[in-house]
Amino acid sequence: MKKRAILLAIILACSAGQGAYAQLSGRYHLPDDFDGAVDQDGARQAVERGDAAPFAYILSKVRPQIKGEIVGEKLEQHQGVWLYEFRVIGPNGHMQFLHFRARTGEPYQLRPVS
């Protein structure tokens, strides 16, 4: 039942898009700093351990900052930092990848790869 509720929250989030805190395109994932995205079970475990807040809580905090349509999201780690990544199509039609700390919902700026 819990999995269905999480899936429903994700589907609703994807269809509701507004908003825009922006991080522009570029390469941000290097093999040595990207620990990887987690599946639904991994996300549940991260929440249970206190590494991440529940997705619905983070979404309620960050939604006002996002301008555009959310078309995807995932929980991942970069250099040991848990992040929620939102894929957003902005008002200009460009895809943006926005990152927020998984515990607090604070914006997190990844360093571009040169």
Q: Encode pLDDT of 55-110 as tens digits.
A: 999 999 999 999 999 999 999 998 889 999 999 999 999 999 999 999 999 999 87
Domain boundaries, the chain: 2-101
Residue 29 reports pLDDT greater than 60: no
Q: Looking at this protein, which amino acid is placed at residue 45?
A: Q
Q: Are 96 and 62 in contact (CB under 8 A)?
A: no
pLDDT, average across residues 15-21: 36
| Percent of residues in the chain assigned helix, strand, coil, to nearest 5 | 30, 30, 40
**In the chain, where does DSSP find H-type helix?**
2-16, 40-49, 55-62
Sequence-separated (6 or more) residues with CB below 8 Å from residue 15: none
Task: Report the C-alpha gap between 5 and 10 in whole angstroms.
Answer: 9
